[in-house]
Amino acid sequence: MYFPKREEKTFTLPKYKEKSIDNENIVIEEDKTEQENLKAEYKVEIDKKLKPALENITISQINRFYSILESRKFSLDSNYIKSVIDKQIEKRIVDEEKSEDFEKEKKFYKLFKENFLTENFFNDRKKCFILMNLIKSYVKYYLGNQKIKEKREKRKEA
């Protein structure tokens, strides 16, 4: 069988493409440093304000809060989280007489609303996204930490 000889074709990127790729890498690196700076700033804020509030409420209440953050309805553009937090505060005002836990949970939701759901919160999507991811991570870490403490206490009792 006869096969004709064909020229070998090579493909190279044009010069302008290479420059744009370099510019994109620079932009991505700048974004990474900006994100790291924002994370460092927010970690301090979360440690100061969120940690003491989480220590005062029960694990089931923390789970409820985490499920709000993980909800499919939650979007950075919507006011879904604001409305849910407001509803939780209203429920706690009604149930306040029933238990001291409700009072602690109401304080937690008020603190979260005052410190993290400010008007500036939804204006910058990057900052909002970074902050919400840090809060989710911190709440998840705190839940795991509490469960480990409970298991250790049970082992000591046994």
- Residue 123 within a domain: yes
Domain that residue 106 falls in: 58-158
Q: Is residue 109 part of a domain?
A: yes
- Residue 49 near residue 115 (C-beta atoms within 8 A): yes
The answer, as to whether pTM is greater than 0.85, is no
Give rounded-to-5 percent helix, strand, coil for the chain.
75, 0, 25
Give pLDDT, residue 107: 81
Which residue would you say has higher pLDDT here, 144 or 99? 144
Q: Residues 108, 61: contact at Cβ < 8 Å?
A: yes
Residue 144 covered by a domain? yes
Residue at 141 is within a domain: yes
Q: What is the mean pLDDT of residues 71-94?
A: 72
Per the CB < 8 A criterion, the answer to whether 76 and 130 are in contact is no
Judge contact between 64 and 111, C-beta under 8 A: no
- Lowest-confidence region among 47-61, 68-82, 96-110: 68-82
Number of domains in the chain: 1
